[in-house]
Chains A and B, each alone.
Chain A
């Protein structure tokens, strides 16, 4: 009963606009979100990096204090890099052999993320929303919005595009899991066909995580989606170990699709998997998923590995010059995103989506090109921030010049 009171109090504080997005989410249960922290390998530098010369800033006591501002020039610190990130095209139009009306080019970075003073990124990052091929257990925050379509994947995809601003849609074929429904590859590809007809945006096709089954499903899906340049999520070293990778990579190549190469926070493995894929796929048909851990549950490892990968790519490491995807939805694996925690941390209706938002934005600054997301408020913020970051030169100093005295 106490809790009811708080909910009430909270809802008074929340604006109608935001509340609209998060309303009624009193409980978040999440059982299908994975947090994958694989081998965490920490690189020890051979020796320690130190900054440039220690500047002793204090000059000897000035003989004469300046009476006017001592003018100094500022030169933007522009650097050159030998490498750049590849461009990868997602989705294909009719003229290109598919049936999408919208397609996206991602990647192409020639500087670290949003170094607008150096070289702006040629393409803004893209947001794809998750839908599932069966009724799954979702955080209530999401469930409220998709309740009516949870048993109709195509309708779900359409809702994501029409209502939540999805630029792309990811269809997770979780029902194909042998431990869940063991849906056949033929039935799974029928779902994909339906989604392809329901929406005109590029698709990502997600498997169930069982290497053997995923390969069987991807092969069939690849065939029915021939020419559509869908992203197969994901191809893994486990598939390689099972001797199945070559097979699925070949099919992806022949049918004109993109491979998402998934590894668990390990750049050496990412490179190894890419090398295996190069035998079958052109380089501009590979994306990397380096693993996204939730804020509070290893996000710093994801952040740092993305920064390292991007810098390595710019410095010329050709095996890492692929655009990267983040499974930002993993942020809901953090208990702080959904747990009831006591009045001082409420409302959860905001705490949950801000968790996803912060996870996304931190990785945006580390160089991620494509985001798998869930919560409408987080998606909206993400798209807004991308727009802001892409438009340099909009700061108006007068707006904040007197912030110290402004009444809030």
Chain B
């Protein structure tokens, strides 16, 4: 690619660009109908170019090289950890979410120290691994454990690292600025491919040697000094270390402006200026909210929580956090889930009749819309209460109940049609439809058009189990 194109920044890549470099034999070995279809999927990042077996053969070596270059992300993808739990970090294709999609959701590493009593240490590591929340039908988790050496003693660190490594399979980050301490930790988990944190202007040579010797990714840390950060990255690369993670420093209160700006500048240089020295994942450390402040614990956790979400919105590819409290992590993991969704994907689920548990002819019929968030919320409430019921999902073009009623996407006509199409009338003996509280105003019309009696249910689906226990079966009138 030419210098001119680098300056131009983002360029449009079309399937043709990829197609021209493929073997173009339409062999179908990739499972696609032809090379053009394959190329379209490659461009959409739905499939990797390596899934074309012929391109990997010797004769296509040059074309394959060009394709890899053409498709390489703006931010290098780094692997931390091994096996099932290995985390891909970075690999970002774009600066703004709407330009394509953000890849590789920001792993959240929970911090422990080598001076924690053994039971606390293991407890926190296990809790980090066990953290789980069911959000619209998907499980969200925490991802890594970061072990800090506050003792600065190699033996103490080694012992803590060994214990944590035994207690959890999560990828690990080893945190110490002392090369001796770091090496003690690396020796303990040679085969776990941890992230080394960190090389600084003082210890970079030894840390580079360790990264090479143990073949691990390496963080470079230069708080609020992007010139130094870049120089260190350059030095590491010349030293032969290829997988870097950048830490421009996280200042959680005074200096928050510089933090956000440093992260933004690093990412813009990578995405827009083709700056190869800054084209690495960025690590944010909301844990620094806990440093140097005399404040009550919950105030610090509060700060850590909102700084984490701010940094994720501004390009952090990994986070190290101190608090494991549910109220701190819940907004963090949900926001992460949200911004890493594909902005091109529809937010609607399929409409039609859903069956939960083992309903019979007397079981209730509930109604909701096909907006994904609405649907999954209702579904999870029904499932967790183990209800036996039918749920009629009306096609509101992916719009939530209240808006759909206001915008006439959910109407009595649509409801009556949906009832008919679902053939629910052959499944139940009763004729009682439970509609969301937010759709109350449609009651009369639905009754007129469908011939079903309407019961107005709760405004929030968390009230469904209680509603059914009180109001179902309906009283004879």
Contacts and interface: CB of A to CB of B under 8 A. Distances in A.
Interface of A: 13-18, 31, 34-40, 42-59, 61-62, 65-67, 69-74, 76-77, 79, 114-117, 209, 264, 295-301, 303-304, 307-308, 311, 335-336, 339, 341, 344-348, 350-351, 354-355, 357-358, 361-362, 365-366, 377, 381, 385, 388-397, 399-408
Interface in B406-427: 406-407
Contacts of B467: none
Contacts of B346: 40, 42
Interface in B195-222: 197-198, 201, 204-205, 208
B64 interface: no
Interface stretch (B3-11, B47-55, B163-171, B469-477): B3-11
Contacts of B96: 307-308, 311
B368 interface: no
B393 interface: no
A57 B279 contact: yes
Interface string B89-127: 000011011111000000000000101000000000000
Contacts, number: 355
Q: Do most interface residues of chain A lie in helix, strand or loop, or is the interface mixed?
A: loop
A53 to B, nearest CB: 4
Contacts of B251: 394-396, 399-400
Given A335-B462, A355-B331, A296 B231 contact: no
B296 A15 contact: yes
Contacts of B297: 13, 15
B326 A74 contact: no
A37 B261 contact: no
B459 interface: yes
B254 A388 contact: yes
5 contacts: A42-B345, A52-B74, A54-B1, A295-B335, A358-B331
B43 interface: yes
Contact of B226 (A14, A74, A366, A381): A74
Contact of A404 (B115, B149, B201): B149
Interface of B: 1, 5-6, 8-15, 43-45, 68-76, 93-94, 96-100, 113, 115, 135, 148-150, 152, 175-177, 197-198, 201, 204-205, 208, 223-235, 237-240, 242, 249-251, 253-261, 264-265, 268-274, 276-277, 279-280, 285, 287-288, 290-292, 295-299, 302, 305-306, 309-310, 313-314, 322, 326-328, 330-331, 334-335, 338-339, 341, 343-347, 371, 373, 377, 397-400, 402-403, 406-407, 459-460, 462
B258 A39 contact: no
Q: Which 7 pairs from chain A and chain B are nearest by CB? A: A15-B296, A54-B72, A51-B74, A395-B255, A55-B276, A52-B274, A53-B1
B227 A15 contact: no
Nearest to A112: B264
A307 B10 CA distance: 17
Contacts of B45: 48
B322 A48 contact: no
A348 B343 CA distance: 31
A397 B264 CA distance: 18
Given A18-B298, A55-B274, A71-B231, A403 B257 contact: no
B264 A115 contact: yes
Given A50-B71, A62-B240, A264 B403 contact: yes
B10 A336 contact: no
Contacts of A391: 257
Nearest to A339: B462
Contacts of A57: 76, 237, 242, 276, 279-280
Nearest to A390: B257
Contacts of A74: 226-227, 229-230
Contacts of A381: 302, 306
B234 A72 contact: yes
B231 to A, nearest CB: 5
Contact of A77 (B256, B272, B287): B272
Nearest to B3: A53
Given A13-B298, A45-B99, A404-B149, 7 more contacts: A52-B273, A56-B69, A301-B347, A385-B310, A392-B257, A394-B257, A404-B177
B260 A49 contact: no
B338 A295 contact: yes
A303 B197 contact: no
Contacts of B229: 74
Given A65-B239, A404-B177, A46 B12 contact: yes
Nearest to B461: A335
A34 B257 contact: no
B257 A114 contact: yes
Given A51-B74, A58-B242, A335-B462, A403 B285 contact: yes
A209 B407 CA distance: 12
Contact of A54 (B69, B253, B273, B330): B69
Contacts of B271: 51-52
B279 A401 contact: no
B283 to A, nearest CB: 12
Contact of A307 (B12, B98, B295, B460): B98
B309 A53 contact: no
Contacts of A336: 330-331, 334
A35 B400 CA distance: 8
Contacts of B6: 52-53
A315 B418 CA distance: 45
B310 A362 contact: yes
B5 A77 contact: no
B59 to A, nearest CB: 22
Contact of B231 (A47, A70, A114): A70
A40 B371 CA distance: 10
A122 to B, nearest CB: 16
B197 to A, nearest CB: 7
B238 A70 contact: yes
Contact of B313 (A48, A79, A365): A365
A117 B10 contact: no
Contact of B257 (A51, A66, A116): A116
A345 B70 contact: no
A303 B100 contact: no
A405 B223 contact: no
Interface core residue of B94, B258, B272, B377 (most chain A CB under 10 Å): B258
Nearest to B224: A395
Contacts of A388: 253-257
A65 B100 CA distance: 39
B339 to A, nearest CB: 5
Contacts of A307: 96-98
Given A336-B330, A397-B223, A62 B302 contact: no
A238 to B, nearest CB: 9
Contacts of B239: 62, 65-66
Contacts of B270: 51
B298 A49 contact: no
A350 B299 CA distance: 10
B94 to A, nearest CB: 6
Given A47-B43, A55-B274, A345 B326 contact: yes
Interface core residue of A62, A351, A366 (most chain B CB under 10 Å): A351
B462 A299 contact: no
A291 B135 CA distance: 22
Given A52-B5, A335-B462, A362 B255 contact: no
A55 B330 contact: no
A401 B292 CA distance: 11
B313 A303 contact: yes
A308 B98 contact: yes
Contacts of B306: 354, 357-358, 361, 381, 385
A358 B204 CA distance: 36
A344 B325 CA distance: 7
A45 B280 CA distance: 26
Nearest to A340: B462
Contacts of B5: 52-53
